[in-house]
Amino acid sequence: MTDGAAAATDTRPTKIVYVAEATAHGGRDGYVTSHDGHIGLRVAMPPELGGDGDGTNPEQLFAAGFSACFHNALILVGNRAGYDLAGSTVSAKVGIGPNRQRGYGLAVALSVSLPVLDADLAARLVDAAHEVCPYSNATRGNIDVTIVLG
């Protein structure tokens, strides 16, 4: 049985149109590959977590994915509203640290640059993108996501 309020905010896909596949070998001290061969990266713990930092890490990969996905959502809502967002950028910082359940948690800070728009319009488009972006929908209510217009 589905609660009406929950159904109104249900962000699960109604149809899967693409599936990405990647495999980790060795966890945070190994490498990751994608099934299509486009990704083949060494993974290493950053020095702040006791590693040598000689490779990428899951937080960098998450930051890259979130920033690209959010930027695409921003371009989409901008285009729908009749705006060309050429020159815009989205940067992501992903932090990791211990949580209260004796595990680890993440926090994300997105920095959005929309140099061709006034602040009020930019804020409205960012809010709309945050509703559209799959990463935003997946993380909403699970981790802190801060968005700053710069």
pLDDT in the model for residue 5: 43
Q: Please give the tally of structural domains in the chain.
A: 2
pLDDT in the model for residue 7: 47
**Residue that terminates a domain, selected from 56, 81, 102:** 56
Q: Do 92 and 48 have their domain in common?
A: no
- Tens digit of each residue's pLDDT (9 = 90 or more) over 3-41: 444 445 788 999 999 999 999 999 999 999 999 999 999
What is the side-by-side order of every strand in the sheet holding 104-113?
89-98, 104-113, 144-149
23 DSSP β-pair partners = 33
- Tens digit of each residue's pLDDT (9 = 90 or more) over 110-137: 999 999 899 999 999 999 999 999 999 9
CA angle at 104 for the pair 98 and 106, rounded to the nearest 5°: 100
- What are the tokens at 25? 């070998």
Q: Mean pLDDT, the chain, as a whole number?
A: 93
Q: Do 23 and 8 have their domain in common?
A: yes
pLDDT in the model for residue 45: 96
- Tens digit of each residue's pLDDT (9 = 90 or more) over 66-89: 999 999 999 999 999 999 999 999
- Tens digit of each residue's pLDDT (9 = 90 or more) over 93-107: 999 999 999 999 999
CB 43 within 8 A of CB 56: yes
Q: Do 140 and 106 have their domain in common?
A: yes
Domain with 105, as residue range(s), is 57-149
pLDDT in the model for residue 116: 87
